[in-house]
Amino acid sequence: MKTLIVLSVLSAPAFAGGLVLDASRLAAEDARALKAQVAAARRDAPRTFELVSTFAQQADLLDRTKRGGRVAAMGRTFKQMGPEALWPMLELLALTHGDVAQTEGGRRSLAVGLLEAVGELRDERAAPVLRAALDVDVSPLVTRAAAYAYGDLQTDEVAATLVALSKGPGARARAIREGMGSCRRVAVTQALGEALASAHDVREVVELSRTLGDVGNAWAWQTPSVVTRGEEAAVRRLASVALLESFLSRGGEEQQAASNALLVVDATELPQLIGAARAKADNRQLAALTTLESRLANHPGR
């Protein structure tokens, strides 16, 4: 059943709806507001709508000629179009996308690129569309991009919603977990830590480690985009504790992913956490901790 839904959303050549969702997924008031704002923006800045549409029409070609990666890198160009591109991008996502992309890969690349660009704008007027996108059965890559874009808003409501939707074993919940690292909040970090502790699939463990690295990213916390400064110490410490536990209990690719994420977070308490772990570590863990300490000592951020 899910496959049929996915095809109806991302594989139809044209339909009376957006690339990711139909406006009927929105509350009636939000749908009316979106249509009115898009219409007003089209009158005020028609050239921006033309630019967005022209680039969107290259989605099939860009996806077909991409080198590596699962989607073509379209987000950067949309981001360069600036805040005025918000409404034409939301129109494509939720109102009508016409025939700007004909192939499944092209539509997926376009949807991810649009969501990346909308998220970076951090405009709360996009919240209804981004929230609704999390309820649609689409490609996990699109859901993940929607979670990241929604998480960029970093509000209490966003954090609570992401945590609630990330629970469960389904593919959509997993994609949300892997995409919510942009929401740098304590509640999100706790949920990710719990998910990592209970994960068994290697790829999921690796992705959750990366997401915890993202939520606690030392460099990201220094940028103006983070609006929850008061939670920095707690978020980075919680992320480090969860990652270190995973590092000690796992090996191979999973342990390497935890090690990499620990260096990204680079919490002030990490040397102390490692010291405490040494007191009860076995020989295998002691060797791993020694390697981690060496990496930390040579970390360019220190």
Q: Is 107 within 8 Å of 11 (Cβ atoms)?
A: yes
The torsion region of residue 23 among left (phi > 0), alpha (psi -120 to 50) and beta comes to: alpha
pLDDT digits (tens, 9 = 90+) for 240-284: 999 999 999 999 999 999 999 999 999 999 999 999 999 999 999
Percent of the chain past pLDDT 70, that is, above it, reads 94
Q: Is 110 within 8 Å of 56 (Cβ atoms)?
A: yes
Element (H, E) at 114: helix 104-121
State the distance between the two ends of the chain, measured CA to CA, in whole angstroms: 51
Q: What average pLDDT does the chain have?
A: 91
Rounded Cα distance between 71 and 288, Å, is 35
Beta carbons within 8 Å of 272's beta carbon, 6+ residues apart = none
Question: E-assigned strands of the chain?
Answer: none
Beta carbons within 8 Å of 91's beta carbon, 6+ residues apart = 18, 38, 49
pLDDT digits (tens, 9 = 90+) for 113-122: 999 999 999 9
Q: Centre a 10 Å sphere on the Cβ of residue 217 and count the other Cβ atoms it contains.
A: 22
Assess whether pLDDT exceeds 60 at residue 8. Answer: no
pLDDT digits (tens, 9 = 90+) for 153-193: 999 999 999 999 999 889 999 999 999 999 999 999 999 99
pLDDT digits (tens, 9 = 90+) for 37-94: 999 999 999 999 999 999 999 999 999 999 888 999 999 999 999 999 999 999 999 9
Assess whether pLDDT exceeds 60 at residue 9. Answer: no
Structure-block tokens of residue 249 = 């209990």
Among 8-17, 272-281, 291-300, top mean pLDDT goes to: 272-281
